[in-house]
């Protein structure tokens, strides 16, 4: 419920992408927001107002003269936290740039008392046209936020930039928009997911880490305005918006990627469940059964990436994770002291490993700070707030 209590005016203009606005409306409700839909006349040619009325539970406004208030173009935005126009056609963008008020959506955008965001949707040549680019630059100068567009196959059959962002991406962008930019100007480096230590071309040593916690922390840092680089082991997750992801497989690959970037980072958060050991020798061919005798695999210890970063001459603010099956406080604090880091996040494996929720304790010099069980996205935001508070005390 990241948008709990937020009031959104959702503007829909005349594009084939209008059907995506219906999906966006459902996502807004699922995130805790309430939305009032305003459609242009052209938008009603693509999706009927009844669809949006059913999804929002409120009448859809389409006509300045038939609105539920004689001052609807003023009243609507006085109670709103933001206006989001999705899709925003080239025509609507042009009318915004000119300051026109020739329909209800344009008029309330001009008379707004809240932020305005637009999600462009148009043919690639319309998007690339110098007139459209000039209009968008005017919008940016006027403080209007542009979300997208994306590139891909378009309804006309052509391919290129101009597609409206998908509803899930728009929801992410809206959540980020409302997040205070407390980490603006900071560079955050993270690791996430498991590592895979090959034994032969098809087998290896790994663990059940899903990467969910690490990806949630990367997302929270990016939404707070940080420049985020995520060094990820093998997971099946999309990269969070505005996050540079670097895929690796083994602990040695992860170490190399981290050490290459650690000196420039302000914060390093080691969330990855790095394998403690790897095979000393990787078999060049698949190991075969041999008369029921298992092959001998000699293991060697992997490097401690977090300890190496913490030992740099000018280390970033280092945060570790300790997933334990027992004696959480003792083991986590011992690990924190041993690695010489200011903060470690401890959790019991049975309460968070591989799932979407977690229960953690933040251990620092002041002791343990338990966080209630919650979705990992919420825990990630609380963790970033705690990191920022500790950094401000230094």
At 335-379, the pLDDT tens digits run: 999 999 999 998 877 665 656 788 899 999 999 999 998 999 999
In a 3-state reduction of DSSP, which class is residue 286?
coil
Task: Answer whether 122's CB lies under 8 Å from 86's CB.
Answer: no
Name the residues annotated as catalytic.
Answer: 156
User: What b-and-e string marks burial along 363-390, b requiring 16 or more CB atoms within 10 Å of the CB?
Assistant: bbeeeeeebeeebbbbbbbbbbebbeeb
**What local confidence, expressed as pLDDT, does residue 152 receive?**
84
**Spacing of C-alpha 240 from chain mean position:** 4
The DSSP bridge pattern shows strands 317-324 and 267-270 to be parallel
**What local confidence, expressed as pLDDT, does residue 328 receive?**
83
Those residues whose C-beta lies under 8 Å from the C-beta of residue 21, and which sit 6 or more positions away, are 10, 12, 37, 47, 52, 86, 87, 167
Domains, the chain, ranges and CATH? 7-178 (3.40.50.1950), 187-393 (3.40.50.10300)
In a 3-state reduction of DSSP, which class is residue 189?
strand
- The pLDDT mean for the chain works out to 91
Whole-structure pTM over 0.85, yes or no?
yes
**What local confidence, expressed as pLDDT, does residue 325 receive?**
77
**What local confidence, expressed as pLDDT, does residue 311 receive?**
95
**What local confidence, expressed as pLDDT, does residue 72 receive?**
66
Q: CB atoms < 10 A from the CB of 113, how many?
A: 13
Nearest to 383 by CA among 317, 339, 305: 317
In a 3-state reduction of DSSP, which class is residue 381?
helix
Rounded distance between C-alpha atoms, residue 32 and residue 7, angstroms: 9
At 150-179, the pLDDT tens digits run: 888 877 777 888 899 999 999 999 999 999
**What local confidence, expressed as pLDDT, does residue 68 receive?**
62
Q: CB atoms < 10 A from the CB of 89, how many?
A: 23
User: What b-and-e string marks burial along 132-168, b requiring 16 or more CB atoms within 10 Å of the CB?
Assistant: beebbebbeeeebbebbbeeeebeeeeeebbbbbbbe
Q: Which stretches in the chain have pLDDT values below 70? A: 65-73, 291, 350-355
Q: CB atoms < 10 A from the CB of 19, how many?
A: 14
Those residues whose C-beta lies under 8 Å from the C-beta of residue 297, and which sit 6 or more positions away, are 199, 279
Rounded distance between C-alpha atoms, residue 74 and residue 109, angstroms: 9
**What local confidence, expressed as pLDDT, does residue 351 receive?**
63
Alpha helices in 113-204 (DSSP H): 124-128, 130-141, 167-178
**What local confidence, expressed as pLDDT, does residue 240 receive?**
94
């Amino acid at each position: 419920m990241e948008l709990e209590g937020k009031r959104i005016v959702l503007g829909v203009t005349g594009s084939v992408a209008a059907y995506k606005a219906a999906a966006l409306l459902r996502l807004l409700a699922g995130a805790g927001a309430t939305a009032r839909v305003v459609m242009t006349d052209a938008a009603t040619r693509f999706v009927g107002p009844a669809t949006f009325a059913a999804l929002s539970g409120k009448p859809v406004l389409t006509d300045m003269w038939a609105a539920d208030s004689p001052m609807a173009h003023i009243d609507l935005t006085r109670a709103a936290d933001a206006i989001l126009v999705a899709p925003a056609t080239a025509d609507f963008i042009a009318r915004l740039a000119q300051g026109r008020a020739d329909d209800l959506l344009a008029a309330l955008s001009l008379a707004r008392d809240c932020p305005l965001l637009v999600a462009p949707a148009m043919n690639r040549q319309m998007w690339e046209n110098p007139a459209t680019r000039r209009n968008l630059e005017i919008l940016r100068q006027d403080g209007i936020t542009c979300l997208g567009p994306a590139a891909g196959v378009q309804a006309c059959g052509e391919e290129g930039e101009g597609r409206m962002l998908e509803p899930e991406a728009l929801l992410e962008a809206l959540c980020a928009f409302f997040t205070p930019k407390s980490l603006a100007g900071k560079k955050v480096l993270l690791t996430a997911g498991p590592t895979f230590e090959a034994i032969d071309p098809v087998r290896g040593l790994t663990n059940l880490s899903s990467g969910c916690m690490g990806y949630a922390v990367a997302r929270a840092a990016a939404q707070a305005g940080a420049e985020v680089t995520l060094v990820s082991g093998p997971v099946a997750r999309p990269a969070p918006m505005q996050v540079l992801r670097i895929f690796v497989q083994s602990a040695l690959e992860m170490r190399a990627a981290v050490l290459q970037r650690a000196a420039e980072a302000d914060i390093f958060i080691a969330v990855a469940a790095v394998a403690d050991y790897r095979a000393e020798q990787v078999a060049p061919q698949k190991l075969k059964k041999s008369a029921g005798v298992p092959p001998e695999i000699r293991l060697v210890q992997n490097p401690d990436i977090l300890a190496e970063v913490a030992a740099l001459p000018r280390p970033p603010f280092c945060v570790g994770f300790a997933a334990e099956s027992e004696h959480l406080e003792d083991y986590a604090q011992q690990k924190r002291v041993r690695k010489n880091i200011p903060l470690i996040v401890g959790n019991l494996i049975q309460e968070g490993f591989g799932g979407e929720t977690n229960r953690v304790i933040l251990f620092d010099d002041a002791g343990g700070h338990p966080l209630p069980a919650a979705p990992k996205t919420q825990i990630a935001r609380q963790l970033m707030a705690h990191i920022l508070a500790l950094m401000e005390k230094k």
